Amino acid sequence: MIQVMGEALIDIIVSPEGEIDSVVGGGPVNTARTIARLGIQASFIGGISQDALGKRVRRLLDSDGVNCAVETACPEPTTLAIATLDESGAAAYQFLMNGTSSLSITPDVALKALDHRAMAVHIGTLALVFRPLSQATRAVISALSTHQLLMVDPNARPSVMNDPTEFWETFNASLVRADVIKVSGDDLDYMFPELSNHEAAVEIQKKSQAVVLFTDGSQGVHVFTELEDFSCDVPSVDVVDTVGAGDSFSGGFLSHWDSRGWTRADIQDCAKVRSAVNFGIKVAGITCQRAGAMPPFANELE
């Protein structure tokens, strides 16, 4: 079983022509749904509103088989994100966070929801940025059992970080414990503007001793470990949009790891890491060919 911690929200998707659609989103929700669709038990640690949109979120999680570790719905309204697509399908985001459901998770709530039977815990995106959710994230990191693998996706959102102090405090806290860190070029450009993306990924690996997965779009996934560095190619696909692609990659990586019975102790095995990365690439490739965050089911990858 894998637990995923972070925000649940509604993505308001704006096409290049200004047409509007909406889907259930939030990077952690997308990751949890991917894991469940691939046949691995998934549990989501996050706030879900009792309003109509929150009920929509919960219905979708239920339909994909994701367990809601925080069972009680909260009175705050559902968090919203506005995802504006460009002609290539890439999304730029704005978030409506203050006073919403995602920020209802306190350290006490999160620690009660944490299940020490989980093989892995995934954290990231806005769970690193906004209090008290960021404080809850740090509490979960400190409370993990020694056997639990921690995967971190900073998924930096500069547009919502007027003061990046909280982001860096949570990210630096994760470096002490992280086993896998997934970063994109956008993350690295923001976090280490004075370094090339390759240099920045190496810097994160040295600081954390974790396996660093740098997802570089069509240029592949570059992997940095204590033992060796290597790259995995990304096949060409017809991209509809990239919403949820990185999240489904992470979900694919973790589901592959868990399905093989691999553990935290195996994370420096480069052959196993390569296998999980290639599976994550396949999952993300299918997601990119669909509108919105719609990860594949296990039978679509057979």
Strand partners, 81: 11, 95
The tens digit of pLDDT for each residue in 17-76 reads 999 988 898 999 999 999 999 999 999 999 999 999 999 999 999 999 999 999 999 999
Amino acid type, 34: T
Q: Is residue 244 scored above 80 in pLDDT? A: no
What pLDDT shows up at residue 281? Answer: 96
**Positive or negative torsion for Cα 61, 132, 183, 174:** negative
List pLDDT tens digits, range 59-95.
999 999 999 999 999 999 999 988 888 888 777 878 8
Q: Is residue 185 part of a domain?
A: yes
- Residue 21 CA to residue 118 CA, distance in Å, equals 35
Provide the domain limits for residue 281.
2-295
Q: Give the SS3 label for residue 230.
A: strand
The per-residue pLDDT for 127 is: 94
| E strand or H helix at 33 | helix 27-37
Find residue 95's DSSP bridge partners: 81
Q: Does 302 reside within a domain? A: no
In a domain, 300, yes or no: no
Across 200-228, average pLDDT: 96
User: Sign (positive/negative) of CA torsion 155, 248, 279, 68?
Assistant: positive
CB 78 within 8 A of CB 25: no
* Nearest-angstrom CA–CA distance, 79 and 77: 6
What is the per-residue pLDDT for 163?
Answer: 83
Measured distance CA(251)–CA(2) in Å, rounded? 9
Residue 46 within a domain: yes
**In total, how many domains does the chain have?**
1
- Model confidence band, residue 3 (pLDDT cutoffs 50, 70, 90): very high
Residue at 138 is within a domain: yes
Query: Per residue in 146-197, pLDDT tens?
Result: 999 999 999 888 888 878 999 999 999 999 999 999 999 999 999 999 999 9
Three-state SS string across 176-190, please? CCCCEEEEEHHHHHH
In this structure, what CATH number is given to the domain that contains residue 86?
3.40.1190.20
- Looking at the chain, the number of H-run helices and the number of E-run strands are 9, 13
Amino acid at 135: Q
Q: What is the pLDDT of residue 11?
A: 86
Is the pLDDT reported for residue 278 higher than 90? yes
Using CA atoms in the order 119, 31, 219, 285, what is the torsion angle rounded to 10 degrees?
110
The string of DSSP letters for 13-27 reads: EE-TT--EEEEEE-H
* Separation CA 252–CA 263 (nearest Å): 15
Percent of the chain with pLDDT over 70: 99
Assess if residue 301 is contained within a domain: no
At residue 212, the pLDDT reads 98
Confidence tier at 250 by pLDDT (50, 70, 90): very high
Residue 285 in domain:
yes
pTM for this one? 0.93
What's residue 188's pLDDT?
97
Name the amino acid, one letter, at 154.
P
Q: Which residues have CB under 8 Å from 240's CB, separation 6+?
A: 89, 288, 289, 290, 291
Q: Is residue 197 part of a domain?
A: yes
Q: What pLDDT score does 181 carry? A: 98
Question: Nearest CA to 60 among 25, 89, 94?
Answer: 25
Average pLDDT over residues 198-216: 97
Q: Which residue has the higher pLDDT, 277 or 238?
A: 277
Tokens for 54? Answer: 């929150």
Residue 23: its pLDDT value, please? 86
